[in-house]
Amino acid sequence: MKIVIVGGVAGGATAAARIRRLDEHAEIIVFERTGFISYANCGLPYYIGDVIQHKADLTLQTPESFWKRFRIKMKVQHEVVAIHPEKKSVSVRNLVTGDTFEEGYDKLLLSPGAKAVLPELPGVDSKKIFTLRTVEDTFAIKDFVTQHKPRSAVMVGGGFIGVELAENLRELGLAVTIVQRPPQLLSPFDADMAAFIHNQMRKNGIKLALGASVTGFQEDAEGISVMLKDGNPIHGDMVILAIGVTPESQLAQDAGLALGMKGSILVNDRMETSIKDIYAVGDAVQVKHAVTGADSLIPLAGPANKQGRIAADTICGGDSRYHGSQGSSIIKLFDMTAATTGINETHARKAGLSVDTVILSPMSHAGYYPGGKIMTMKVVFEKESYRLLGAQIVGYDGVDKRIDVLATAIHAGMKATDLKELDLAYAPPYSSAKDPVNMAGFMVENISKGLKQWHLSDLEMLLQDESVTLLDTRTPKEFIQGHIEGFMNIPVDELRERIEEVPVGKPVYLICQSGLRSYIATRILEGLGFEAYNFAGGYRFYEAVMLDKGLNETAFPCGMDK
């Protein structure tokens, strides 16, 4: 059996190695148009930032190492320019010599990936504008930074790659501004959780111009200006475009393969395309979202690797199935970490789901053990069924292991109330006897048993409602340092003795710093016959969101560079 694979990196290279492990006699040829067959795509921003210092460290495998270990022919700088399903062959151009030849196959696997989106805007062809998608892109940016020593950069786009590169350029000493049309960075996060990310970026000197539409670019001797629709230009020594990627599917389209959303390649759960003996994996294919079941594009390395393995199994006669992508992601933000899995509240509501959330601020490990740091967790679940839908965490130590536990729980189809049952490892340097994931489960269980809560979206209405009581249960010192106007202050430890100060017959809406003391106060009030609601998130959460909102409105009004 002869297998031709178009494209290496995550999906193609994984499939090639897996096929060899399953079939020692198969002839396997991989055509890759770049000069690199398997490289650490996700590490590219960190090479630019000197965290990864050697080019060789980006290369996971070479054509020589693949041949030596797997006897797989890796043809770099070879571009497949046409597929001929009727003849079961492909046309290939040698990009070094320019020669074109035809290669037959028994099975064909497409792993073309995705390409960076280039907007059709004036000045976009400037030599001072870069994209970051391939190793060659990385070297171009690195060479420009090394040779020209830019003092400033404008990042157009605030997705994962854009934010990672912004951090790395900032660490090199550049003044960095991120410009983008959406009002927040990192769309997998809800706007309230993104507030912590925005504040962290600003804290480390990165300017944010959110909600700003780019209309073009103007190069001059001193650098390049990013022109905005409703504001003054933002000037920098270089510009990086990171506004997203689109599937590389022209080859598939020309061959007559069925396409899906945004031109992606349609595949079934065995990674088979609409034409027999042709398979596809990676960033170019349409998948099902594992939580919603909706058609999705999720260009991540983890799913691409899994798909490559499944395609290899199918090609070799196995029956592996791909059950969808969950979108689990994590990102380093200077000394902070942000992670997400499943769907957020915004996407859940757009999907027509009836949802609720719990927000908590636990310590990374036992409070009495030195060095613990607070993280903020938001867990999204479906009302009535309590099906676990998604989670977001922003913090420092321990974010990665909590998001992975929650990702596993979602994959297993657990209910949010089941999180309380998980038997998780505990020792004071690593966790608490009640792990943050368990705590989220306890909170959801309380709601399932009738505990009432209120959310930040309810605040404006509550401040205008004279039929309710607004109560802050923090200490007087905390209250003086910052509070929401309209709230009265009774510390939780004094509530029983001062209960006559709480008007009878009115619902009480409570808040404290993190949600714990107000929860205790809620239980006290319920026990005394009051209708009480606890605030999801606490004043710390409210303050972070309001700070971000204020800075977004004043730092770059209408996208203007101050």
Q: Which residues partner with 234 through β-bridges?
A: 226
Q: Backbone dihedral region of 208: left (phi > 0), alpha (psi from -120 to 50 degrees) or beta? A: beta
The CB density around residue 448, as the number of other CB atoms within 10 Å, is: 16
Q: Which residues partner with 408 through β-bridges?
A: none
Note the Cα 53 to chain centre separation in Å.
25
Query: Are the beta carbons of 389 and 358 closer than 8 angstroms?
Result: no
The CB density around residue 67, as the number of other CB atoms within 10 Å, is: 12
Tokens representing residue 190 in the block = 């809800």
Note the Cα 480 to chain centre separation in Å.
37
Nearest CA-CA partner of 283 in 312, 254, 245, 251: 245
Q: Computed from CA positions of residues 429, 434, 438, 443, in that sequence, does the dihedral angle turn out positive or negative?
A: negative
Catalytic residue from among 42, 316, 512, 558: 42
- Residue 62 neighbours by CB under 8 Å, 6+ apart: 37, 74
DSSP 89-127: EEEEEETTT--EEEEE-SEEEE---EEE-----TTTT-T
The CB density around residue 289, as the number of other CB atoms within 10 Å, is: 19
Q: What Cα–Cα distance (Å) separates residue 468 from each residue in 114, 166, 472?
A: 53, 46, 13
Q: What is the largest CA-CA distance in the chain?
A: 90
Q: Which residues partner with 180 through β-bridges?
A: 210
DSSP 389-423: EEEEEEESTTHHHHHHHHHHHHHTT-BGGGGGG--
Q: How far apart are CA 186 and CA 46, in angstroms?
A: 18
3-state secondary structure of 557: helix
3-state secondary structure of 288: strand
**Distance in angstroms between the alpha carbons of the first and the last residue of the chain:** 63
3-state secondary structure of 80: strand
Angle between helices 399-411 and 436-448 (to 10 degrees): 50
Q: Computed from CA positions of residues 454, 359, 429, 420, in that sequence, does the dihedral angle turn out positive or negative?
A: positive
Q: What Cα–Cα distance (Å) separates residue 498 from each residue in 68, 75, 489, 501?
A: 79, 79, 11, 6
Q: How far apart are CA 553 and CA 213, in angstroms?
A: 15
Tokens 């107000």 -> residue:
518
Query: Are the beta carbons of 292 and 351 closer than 8 angstroms?
Result: yes
Q: How far apart are CA 103 and CA 5, in angstroms?
A: 11
Q: Is 316 a catalytic residue?
A: no
Strands 73-76 and 238-241: unpaired
Query: Are the beta carbons of 284 and 110 closer than 8 angstroms?
Result: yes
Tell me the catalytic residues. Answer: 42
